[in-house]
Chains A and B, each alone.
Chain A
């Protein structure tokens, strides 16, 4: 097969797949820009005949979006900060130190990945109630404050740092904590960026646990508020579509601007 034909077929397949993967989003965008149209009209409205932002204005005025966005940002920031600090601190010794119990910690961590706990949410609920953290943002964030996956990812990153750096720090009489903060941490910024991004996405999209923990819908993050919107206005498609776009766009933009790090990081998560 000549190369040009092969390239042509490749592009054709790539475009077909792109329609399959992106089509639903483009259609959502299209619905959100069609005021007063029913998604179930026959034939269904696929492309807007004219573009208007009425749905966005109306749903923005109706729902307290700034509040939900603020809630989401607070939850996401808390979650990201906790995850970065805790997984770096936990992963560093696993990569750089030699100590008794290292393999024990490692086995324990791996076993949590192999044996998932379907009961986790129920026990988390009881734990959060016991800590009196029900209906608080901390109650939303703490159960996911550190993940085994992030620890492994950071360990992988720390392994790439030469041992000389720690030795030279010791030679100069720096404490372990100082070596960690001033010498080692600046070298793992790409790894931190990756777990940061992973957690931004996880916390931004989280909907169920916030609903379980938070009694007050005013404290809901965006994804949770969206289920609420859907329940209330199941007939007003344009509004729901616009609301969904508002909740989805920030995360898609974050992804598009950081995809280089993000994709390398995801790929780095497993080693053949």
Chain B
């Protein structure tokens, strides 16, 4: 018995070895190596020195970094909006009517397209003489053209909108899966008790979607703080620092200016923040619970 257990254990590790090796190098190592790196001024060009906690003290006096943290936090505001819209979308595409699968696919297409293409399309649509301005002017919702992406007061919100637009389909699918797991007789029972559509949603759908809401909130919070591609392609953090999010700033410091040490310190600070936010989301949803995910 004991021997059998040991050999099973050996086989298990043998199976996992290649995968764990890759994870060790490309998933665990960056987390571990980020710590010593953040205590140096490693920059490829000059000699590397141990600088203690200098990078961290510098970070908290770095005006641009603080702005980038703030912008990242503002970005998190899209999380509840995404949840509400995608739950409504999921309810809509859960209707049993002909052709509904076609709509599901249509809503999912932004998810599978590359961010480069999505960013390009929206940058044109949002241009000064672009379609969005044209339509809004026609509808009388704005009185003059707005340079959506090059105005400090709108740029960040426009980026948030694009992130939301691209992600809605993904969350819709996750919620749809949740909806399809709800037994139909629960709705029947509530209907017999005289509940209308709105009460059905509030008292049956939402409570039963709780684990899905927790999961989706969690991944969209992380996604919002790590947001990079759309910001980098469309505004590179500008105009000024109005869309400078933490990932973009870390990328600039690290892979554009080659301040690896400083960038690692910034990365660590952001990681701790994301960890704390995740814990917070868990606390807020204590009754939910994610099953091994």
- The residues of A with any CB-CB pair to B shorter than 8 Å are 7, 10-11, 13-14, 17-18, 20-22, 24-25, 27-28, 31, 39-44, 46, 82, 85-87, 89-90, 92-94, 97-102, 105-106, 108-110, 112-127, 142-146, 148, 151-152, 176, 180, 201, 204-205, 207-208, 212, 223-224, 226-227, 230, 237, 240, 244, 247-248, 251-252, 255-256, 259, 263, 266-272
Tell me whether A117 and B15 are in contact in the complex, defined as CB-CB below 8 angstroms, given that A86-B22, A97-B8, A267-B176 are known contacts: no
In the docked arrangement, what's the CA distance between A124 and B246, Å?
18
Residues of A contacting B: mostly? helix
Which of chain B's residues has its CB closest to A260's CB?
Answer: B101
Q: Are B274 and A271 in contact (CB under 8 A)?
A: no
Partner of A266, one of B13, B18, B174: B174
Q: Are B19 and A146 in contact (CB under 8 A)?
A: yes
B114 close to A (CB within 8 Å): yes
- Residues in A whose Cβ lies below 8 Å from that of B290: 270
Partner of B107, one of A10, A18, A201, A256: A18
Can you offer 14 A-B residue contacts whose CB atoms are under 8 A? A14-B92, A82-B22, A99-B13, A117-B27, A121-B251, A123-B34, A127-B25, A127-B30, A142-B26, A244-B120, A247-B117, A263-B108, A271-B293, A272-B208
Partner of A123, one of B33, B174, B271: B33
Residues of B contacting A: mostly? helix
User: A15 to chain B: closest CB distance in Å?
Assistant: 8
- Residues in A whose Cβ lies below 8 Å from that of B105: 255-256, 259
In the docked arrangement, what's the CA distance between A10 and B24, Å?
49
- Residues in A whose Cβ lies below 8 Å from that of B110: 21, 25
Q: Are A21 and B107 in contact (CB under 8 A)?
A: yes
Tell me whether A43 and B134 are in contact in the complex, defined as CB-CB below 8 angstroms, given that A121-B251, A124-B26 are known contacts: yes
Tell me whether A90 and B16 are in contact in the complex, defined as CB-CB below 8 angstroms, given that A40-B127, A146-B22, A263-B108 are known contacts: yes
B211 close to A (CB within 8 Å): yes
Q: Are B30 and A117 in contact (CB under 8 A)?
A: yes
In the docked arrangement, what's the CA distance between A24 and B116, Å?
14
In the docked arrangement, what's the CA distance between A202 and B89, Å?
24
Q: Are A244 and B173 in contact (CB under 8 A)?
A: no
Tell me whether A263 and B9 are in contact in the complex, defined as CB-CB below 8 angstroms, given that A116-B226, A272-B178 are known contacts: no
Q: Are A117 and B109 in contact (CB under 8 A)?
A: no
Tell me whether A146 and B23 are in contact in the complex, defined as CB-CB below 8 angstroms, given that A24-B121, A230-B120 are known contacts: yes
In the docked arrangement, what's the CA distance between A207 and B117, Å?
11
Which of chain B's residues has its CB closest to A175's CB?
Answer: B11
User: A225 to chain B: closest CB distance in Å?
Assistant: 9
- Residues in B whose Cβ lies below 8 Å from that of A224: 116
- Residues in B whose Cβ lies below 8 Å from that of A146: 19, 22-23
Partner of B292, one of A93, A117, A152, A251: A152
User: B173 to chain A: closest CB distance in Å?
Assistant: 5
User: A249 to chain B: closest CB distance in Å?
Assistant: 10
Q: Are A112 and B22 in contact (CB under 8 A)?
A: no
Which of chain A's residues has its CB closest to B166's CB?
Answer: A21
Tell me whether A44 and B177 are in contact in the complex, defined as CB-CB below 8 angstroms, given that A14-B92, A112-B31, A272-B212 are known contacts: no
In the docked arrangement, what's the CA distance between A114 and B109, Å?
27
Q: Are B26 and A118 in contact (CB under 8 A)?
A: no
Q: Are B117 and A119 in contact (CB under 8 A)?
A: no
Q: Are A105 and B267 in contact (CB under 8 A)?
A: no
Tell me whether A11 and B12 are in contact in the complex, defined as CB-CB below 8 angstroms, given that A152-B292, A266-B173, A270-B177 are known contacts: no
